Amino acid sequence: MSDIPLDTNVIVRYLTESSQDVDAKFEGVFGFFEKLEAGSLSVFLPDLVLFQAYFVLTSFYGAPRAEVADKLRRIVEFSGIRMTDKNVIIECLSRLQSQNLDVVDCYLLGWAESRGVNCVYSYDSDLEKNGLELLKVK
């Protein structure tokens, strides 16, 4: 297993470059992700990097959030991608595809569900609407 982290720009290049006319600087990106998918190469994907890729793709590139969430979920599921809590991230990305919630709400809901937690300190009614009890901050 590798402890070498994967950076945001590599993910963004993989999802925005065309394999037919890829810039020479990025020509190895498609083979790299093929190895990750097959599990012949292993990297560590920090949660923060994944969320930054989501933000860059949806804001700077203007890609639809459900499409970005789907593509990122597929990458997270590659055999060679290691994460601290992969199942929470997959749940978060699945919620982003199907619900009109922000990325942090999706993460909190997935995290809480994975740990059997049913409450949160928050003022966010979207969390309450999705099953978490809002605890009073006092």
pLDDT, tens digit, 9 for 90 and up, residues 62-116? 999 999 999 999 999 999 999 999 999 999 999 999 999 999 999 999 999 999 9
Which phi and psi (to 5°) does residue 71 adopt? -65, -40
User: Are the C-beta atoms of residues 21 and 66 closer than 8 Å to each other?
Assistant: no
Q: What domain range is 111 assigned to?
A: 8-135
State what percent of residues in the chain have pLDDT above 70: 99
Question: What percent of the chain has pLDDT above 90?
Answer: 89
pLDDT attached to residue 126: 95
Is residue 1 in a domain? Answer: no
**Separation CA 65–CA 118 (nearest Å):** 27
Is position 122 within any domain?
A: yes
In a domain, 2, yes or no: no
Rounded CA gap, 40 and 42, in Å? 7
What pLDDT, on the 0 to 100 scale, is given for residue 117? 96
Would you say residue 38 lies in a domain?
A: yes
CA distance 23 to 13: 10
Number of independent structural domains in the chain: 1
Residue 69 Cα distances to 23, 47, 85, angstroms = 25, 13, 17
- Show the DSSP H helices in the chain as ranges: 8-16, 29-38, 47-55, 65-76, 86-98, 103-115, 125-129
Q: Is the residue at 3 inside a domain?
A: no
With a CB cutoff of 8 Å and minimum separation 6, the contacts of 9 are none
Predicted confidence (pLDDT) at residue 2 exceeds the cutoff of 70: no
Which residues pair with residue 5 across a beta bridge? 44
Residue 18: its pLDDT value, please? 78
Q: Is the pLDDT of residue 17 over 90?
A: no
> Which tens digit of pLDDT belongs to each residue from 22-71?
777 888 899 999 999 999 999 999 999 999 999 999 999 999 999 999 99
- How high is the pLDDT of residue 76? 97
- Which residues make Cβ contacts (< 8 Å) with residue 58, sequence separation at least 6? 64, 65, 68
Predicted local distance difference test score (pLDDT) of residue 66: 94
Residue 42 in any domain: the answer is yes
